[in-house]
């Protein structure tokens, strides 16, 4: 499988997630380019080998049992092209890096995403956002790979999307073209610094976590609901509700997949018992048995 990219064997996936949770996988392949990805997927399908595509590992809760399959990383798909205010970025580009490149061209729209630790593909797929902005706001079109290995482009007008959601889950996003606004990069950097300092002071972004655990129900903050139940600091082994922000679970050392899932379910039950609200999990929960 070396012709498809860099192949690693018996890889500990803890190192590839911001949560520091994950089991070992038989193979991890960092594909060289789009064609290598397509050829690898065709090979895996023909050989009936299970696989999972992992982005930056920042919005995913990974099964920590052994995965007898292939984890594919797209970090080498990292091209950025800028044509006036149209910016096309490959799926493996990190958002913070993309924003920095855009600011050099006085394109300021993605400054809200400077601290979102995801990649372009996964962040657009889940319509990541903060500060009342999200990725789909600036999308022009998306280049995707279908289940039949067909490459096609989908315009924004053809995509259904909403809060932390798009209907692109049946595809693999290869690249995204954004339309961004020109602005003053110096003022934008100042605003970014202020916003990012507030965020770092109010969220445990320097600890092992996956960002917000629950989507905000309509008209209310999930963090506030959990906080009013005095659950900050509550833990199951090393999986702990952050004392900084109640909608974050941090890995306080060696939290397991089971610890995190039990803590998530505990929070959901408590919130439902007290408020009649069913919280919806925001990160992707990956169980190898369901692939």
User: Which sequence positions are flagged as catalytic?
Assistant: 164, 212, 282
Show Cβ contacts of residue 279 under 8 Å, excluding neighbours closer than 6 positions: 214, 215, 217, 222, 225, 267, 268, 271, 272
Contact between 202 and 173 under an 8 Å Cβ cutoff? The reply is no
Query: Which CA distances in Å does 42 have to 4, 159, 290?
Result: 11, 26, 20
Rounded to 5°, angle at Cα 174 from 169 and 175: 110
Distance CA 215, CA 226 (A): 12
Distance CA 235, CA 264 (A): 10
Q: Are strands 129-130 and 235-236 parallel, antiparallel or unpaired?
A: unpaired
Show Cβ contacts of residue 118 under 8 Å, excluding neighbours closer than 6 positions: 55, 56, 58, 59, 94, 95, 126, 128
């Amino acid at each position: 499988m070396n012709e498809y990219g860099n192949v690693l064997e018996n890889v500990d996936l803890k190192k590839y997630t911001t949560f520091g949770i994950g089991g070992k996988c038989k193979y991890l392949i960092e594909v060289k380019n789009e064609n290598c990805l397509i050829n690898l997927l065709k090979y895996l399908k023909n050989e009936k080998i299970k696989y999972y595509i992992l982005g930056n590992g920042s919005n995913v809760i990974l099964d920590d049992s052994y995965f007898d399959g292939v984890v594919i990383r797209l970090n080498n798909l990292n091209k950025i092209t800028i044509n006036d205010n149209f910016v096309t970025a490959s799926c493996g580009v990190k958002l913070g890096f993309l924003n920095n490149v855009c600011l050099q061209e006085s394109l300021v729209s993605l400054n809200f995403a400077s601290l979102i630790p995801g990649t372009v593909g996964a962040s657009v797929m889940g319509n990541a956002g903060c500060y009342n902005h999200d990725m789909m706001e600036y999308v022009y079109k998306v280049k995707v790979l279908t289940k039949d290995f067909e490459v096609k482009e989908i315009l924004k007008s053809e995509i259904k999307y909403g809060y932390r959601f798009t209907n692109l889950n049946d595809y693999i996003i290869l690249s995204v073209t954004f339309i961004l606004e020109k602005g003053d990069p110096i003022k934008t950097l100042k605003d970014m610094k202020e916003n990012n300092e507030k965020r770092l002071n109010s969220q445990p972004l320097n600890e092992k976590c996956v960002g917000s655990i629950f989507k905000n129900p309509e008209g209310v903050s999930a963090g506030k609901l959990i906080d009013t139940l005095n659950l900050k600091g509550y833990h199951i082994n090393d999986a702990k509700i952050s004392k900084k922000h109640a909608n974050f679970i941090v890995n306080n050392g060696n939290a397991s997949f089971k610890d995190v899932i039990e803590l998530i379910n505990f929070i959901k039950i408590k919130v439902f018992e007290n408020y009649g609200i069913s919280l919806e999990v925001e990160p992707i929960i990956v169980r190898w048995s369901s692939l």
